[in-house]
Amino acid sequence: MKKVCILIKSCSYGMASAGEAYRTIVGLAGMEVDTNVVLVDDGVFIAMKGQDPSEIEMQSLELAYTSIGEFGAKLYVHKESMEKRGVKEDEIIEANMLNTDGLKKIINEMDAVITFT
């Protein structure tokens, strides 16, 4: 089975990256590709609980990213990126915490890495 890591570095809204990344995640996982999703840099904001982007007429990504486990994908959040942005673990959806060494290990184990910036 092929292994893919999807790195998401951009914020939740204002760009198409997070939405397009979600569609990629669902597609890969649906094709039985071992799909690992890592939220880094501003991407950690995708995992924030209680998102309400209704003022900008967008759907919440919180529900989408909460559901990726149902497709067989694994969600990770880069701990150092969270800390740098003042985000605490109790403020994010259920995800695996990952430090920089863990991120390097995951990337090195993959057949491919796709980055959304």
Q: Tell me, rounded to whole angstroms, the distance of Cα 55 from its chain centroid.
A: 23
- C-alpha dist (Å) from residue 45 to 10, 33, 81, 117: 8, 25, 10, 13
Average pLDDT in the 102-112 region? 98
The confidence band for 96, taking pLDDT boundaries of 50, 70 and 90, is very high
The pLDDT mean for the chain works out to: 93
In the chain, the amino acid numbered 67 is S
Dihedral of CA atoms 100, 42, 19, 30 in degrees, nearest 10, equals 10
Range of the domain at 51: 3-116
Count of domains for the chain: 1
40-77 pLDDT, tens per residue?
999 999 999 988 767 767 777 888 999 999 999 999 99
Please report, for the domain that includes residue 112, its CATH number: 3.40.1260.10
For residue 37, pLDDT over 80 is answered with yes
Q: Which has more confidence, 15 or 77?
A: 77
